[in-house]
Structures are given as structure tokens and as C-alpha cells.
Chains A and B, each alone.
Chain A
Amino acid sequence: MIKVIAENALKERLRRKELYIVAVLGFLCVVIFSCCGGTITVDGELLTGFKNLAPVMLTIIHAISGALAIALSLHTIPNEYERKTSHLIWIRGVAQWKYHAALTLANVISSLFAALIMYGGVILFALIKGDSVNILRFLPAYFLMALSIAIISIFTSLLSIQLPAMAAGLIACACYLLGILHGVLDIVRNIVGGFSGQLLSVLLKILPDLNGMQQQAWHMAAGEPVDFHTVFKGLLLLYVLTIFYFIFKKKEA
């Protein structure tokens, strides 16, 4: 049943041609980064070479993919209730958690697919410019990045069950921004101290370290050691989020 509903939601998404826009964005990224000129070198490596530019590109792609995940996940569930498609699902005895989980699954798949299209840009860039990096490492690296995209998508979908789309979008965006600024906020916390520092400490404990996950993705791609603690924390958060599907319920269809 979950598969049937998710499949249908995905079909609708594909027909809306949103993913073509994503492909164009990914292509633009490749063009911009591939056309970089310059002769400055750091440790014998060109500043505009693959090793220096790829992490920047990955950060940008991660940021765009996260924003896309919010956009792609925000309206799916509210739309079902607005169009009253939910009526024909509820009367067939489908449990709410299954219904919402199926729609979220469609959100996650389309968000990950959008991220994959963008990520394809990095691989293409690696093919054009890269020489020392093993292209095969990019596949597991994608899955590490996908973890944070899935978290964003599920979190946004969950919020959209309980809140109006606008409120859900604002909260999701705020959490996402703080999540990708996790590293920066950690530095600020160490600098400011006092009450602000304590407040930031609490925030950093609650918010997922999306920046950390993206960094691990790059470490994997570059063949550097990966901090699996950050990855496991992400997986744990994913698990915790899924529990909320049994808690968040609509009173009326």
C-alpha cells in the first residue's frame, strides 16, 4: 500500500518537470566551476584545480539540494488534504501513518534524485578536471550526503502534517540553515561564551550537524578518513524522526 501511494506521488512529481530545473542548476554548477581560470597555486596545486574547488562545489550542491528537498517536500501532504484526495484514502481504511509515510517516501526519493542530478555535476567536474581522486569513491560519498538530504526531507514532511505550509517551510528553512552552519556556530559558541554561548550549546545539541555530514561526504570522496560518529548521529536522527509518524496525526481528512 505504501508502495502504491508513493509510486503515484512520484509519478505526479516527475510529470511536473521540477527535476529538469534541477538538472539545469547542476549543469550550470559544472559550467561555472569548469570555466575557472587562474594560475595561483597552493602546495603545488592550482587554486582552481579539482582538489581545491570540489569541496566548494560539494558545499554549494549540498546547500542547493537541501533547499530543493524543502521545496519538494513542503506541499505534498498539505496538497493531499487540500484537494481532498485524502478522503478516498481514509475511507479505504489506510492508517494515517502509512499514508503520510508513503507521501514522505515519495518526497525523500525525489529529493535524493534531485541531489543525485546535482551530484552528477561534481562527478562530471571530476571527469573534466580531476586526476588524483578516484571517481568510484563518489558513490558512497553520495550516500553520506544523501543522509542529510533525507533528514531535511523527512523533517519538512513531518512539519507539513501538523502545520500550515508557510509555517512548516519557515521552520524547516531555519533549522536547515542552522544545520548547515553547524560548524560556524560551533566556532561562534567558543568565541562568545556566557549566556549566548550556553544558548548556542543547546542549539548545537538539538540541531543536526548537516555541515558535518557533508564534510564526511567530501572526506569519503577525497579518500580521507571519515568520522563515522557524525554519520551514526545522522542515522539515529533519521530513526527518531520516523517515530513521529505514529505521533503526528490529522484530526480530520
Chain B
Amino acid sequence: MLSCKDLTKQYNGITVVDHLTFQIKKGEVFALLGTNGAGKTTTIKMILELVEKNGGQIEKYGEYTIGYSPETPYFPPFLTAREVLSYYGRIQGLDKRDLKKDIATLLQLVGLEDNRTKVKVYSKGMLQRLALAQALLGDPMLLLLDEPTAGLDALGRVEMIELIGKLKSQGKTIIINSHILNDMERVCDGGIIIKKGKILYTWEKNADHHGKSLEEIFVETVKN
């Protein structure tokens, strides 16, 4: 569905993404793993063309729409969740009647049915859920989720992972960037561990890891 070859990005002469090469198959949930500053978010932004790449290629196979849930979502604080989704849906050019129906479905899906509360009083977890809902507007085939479980409490995290599993079962291709390795191990089919912009390890769920969990592999890889 998507392939990145020799993806490179530099900021002020410092390489933050260093010749990353990976492929994502249709229907796969793919994890970008790494410590802070590893280059995960920059990679996502390059795929979304939000930042210019200094080198490499990104190939998208076929025509499909992309949904994106940012790491620190900001929504106009004076709007309700329904109004936020309506705003982005209208910008996207979605049909008004369909949009109304879609918004109700999406809000129910992410557990934000209360339509009177303004975004300004939302907790970080609620904002994350709203960010996911806006990413799902227009039923995109590829989803890029930047730290979708950040700021969520234990229950919220479990619900989010279940939700991602549900989206996977609907055939969506998902790229997730996260620190919560247990969650990633549960929901992802594969992924890469990055350090200073370089791939250190390519992880596949079905491969033989000699009884090691993803967390153990991650710690071992990053520490070395």
C-alpha cells in the first residue's frame, strides 16, 4: 500500500531521519517505535507531506484517502465535538447529509456522544479520541496515528487499542507511532524500531523472537 525508500530528513544540518526504508501492506497495522527524538513523528509528517523530505521516495500504491490523528491535537476550544467534526468534514468536502450521519456514528465509536460539552473542557484523553474521530472522517483507507494512547488512562488505553483492532478488522491500514510497547505488541502486525532516525530492528509479529516480548527486544535494541 505504501513504501518508503531511503527517506531522509535534516533540520539545520542534523539528520533526524536517516535513509529509512520500509513497506506497509494493505490491511496491516504497522508500528513506528523509538525513544523520544527518534524521528517517528517526522517520518509520519513526511508521509503526509507536512514536512519536505531531503531525500528518498515515498510511493503510494493506488488511490486512497488518508486520515491523521496528531500527537497533540488542537481543536477550536469553543466548539463541541460534533461541531469540530462538522468543520473538518465540510473542509474535506463531504456531503452534508452523509456527514451528519457519519458524525453521529464516529462520536459513538469513540465514546463522545455528549454533544453539548465544549472542547475547552476536554481532558487529553477526550481530545485524543476526538482526534481519532476526525481522522476517520470520510472513511479513509490509510490511518496515521501519532501517539494515539498518549494521555489516556488505563481504561481509555484499552478502549483505544480495541478500537484500533476494530478498524483493522474493517480492513484499514494503520501506521501507529507509540511508546506503549505492550499495546503495540497486541495490535500491530509489524513495525520498526528507530534510533536517531535509523532502523535498528524490524519486528514482525509472527516471527520467532526466541520468547522475547517486544518490550524486551526494544530495550535490548535501543540500549545497544
Interface of A toward B, CB cutoff 8 Å: 1, 4-5, 8, 11-12, 15, 83-85, 87-92, 94, 251-253
Contact of A253 among B51, B88, B93 (CB under 8 A): B51
Flag if A8 contacts B87 (CB, 8 Å): yes
Flag if A88 contacts B51 (CB, 8 Å): no
B48: chain A residues at CB < 8 Å are 87, 90-91
**Given A8-B87, A91-B68, A252-B52: A83 and B74 interface contact (C-beta under 8 Å):** yes
**Given A11-B78, A12-B78, A15-B78: A90 and B93 interface contact (C-beta under 8 Å):** no
Contact of A84 among B52, B74, B90 (CB under 8 A): B74
Flag if A88 contacts B70 (CB, 8 Å): yes
Q: Is B224 in contact with chain A by the CB < 8 A criterion?
A: no
Q: Is B50 in contact with chain A by the CB < 8 A criterion?
A: yes
Interface centre among A5, A11, A92, A94 (most CB of B within 10 A): A92
Nearest Cβ in chain A — how far from B48, in angstroms? 5
A11: chain B residues at CB < 8 Å are 76, 78
Flag if B52 contacts A251 (CB, 8 Å): yes
Contact of B66 among A8, A15, A91 (CB under 8 A): A91
B146 to chain A: closest residue by CB: A87
* Chain A interface helix/strand/loop/mixed: helix
Flag if A252 contacts B78 (CB, 8 Å): no
Give the docked Cα–Cα distance between A140 and B177 (Å): 57
Q: Is B14 in contact with chain A by the CB < 8 A criterion?
A: no
Nearest Cβ in chain B — how far from A219, in angstroms? 42
Contact of A92 among B45, B52, B88 (CB under 8 A): B88
A15: chain B residues at CB < 8 Å are 78
A16 to chain B: closest residue by CB: B78
B98: chain A residues at CB < 8 Å are none
Flag if B76 contacts A8 (CB, 8 Å): yes
Contact of A1 among B49, B51, B66, B91 (CB under 8 A): B91
Nearest Cβ in chain A — how far from B174, in angstroms? 15
Q: Is B202 in contact with chain A by the CB < 8 A criterion?
A: no
The 9 closest A-B pairs by CB, nearest first: A253-B50, A83-B74, A4-B90, A252-B51, A15-B78, A92-B92, A91-B68, A92-B91, A91-B48
Some 14 contacts from A to B, beta carbons below 8 A apart, are: A1-B91, A4-B90, A4-B91, A5-B91, A11-B76, A11-B78, A12-B76, A83-B74, A87-B48, A87-B50, A88-B134, A91-B48, A252-B50, A253-B50
Nearest Cβ in chain A — how far from B161, in angstroms? 23
Give the docked Cα–Cα distance between A84 and B127 (Å): 14
**Given A91-B66, A91-B68, A253-B51: A85 and B91 interface contact (C-beta under 8 Å):** no
In the complex, besides A8-B76, A90-B50, 14 extra interface pairs with C-beta distance below 8 angstroms are A4-B90, A11-B76, A12-B76, A12-B78, A83-B74, A84-B70, A84-B72, A85-B74, A87-B50, A87-B68, A87-B70, A88-B88, A91-B66, A92-B88
A5: chain B residues at CB < 8 Å are 91
B70: chain A residues at CB < 8 Å are 84, 87-88
Give the docked Cα–Cα distance between A15 and B87 (Å): 17
Give the docked Cα–Cα distance between A83 and B45 (Å): 15
Give the docked Cα–Cα distance between A20 and B91 (Å): 30
Nearest Cβ in chain A — how far from B40, in angstroms? 15
A8: chain B residues at CB < 8 Å are 76, 87
A83: chain B residues at CB < 8 Å are 74
A86 to chain B: closest residue by CB: B50
Flag if B68 contacts A88 (CB, 8 Å): yes
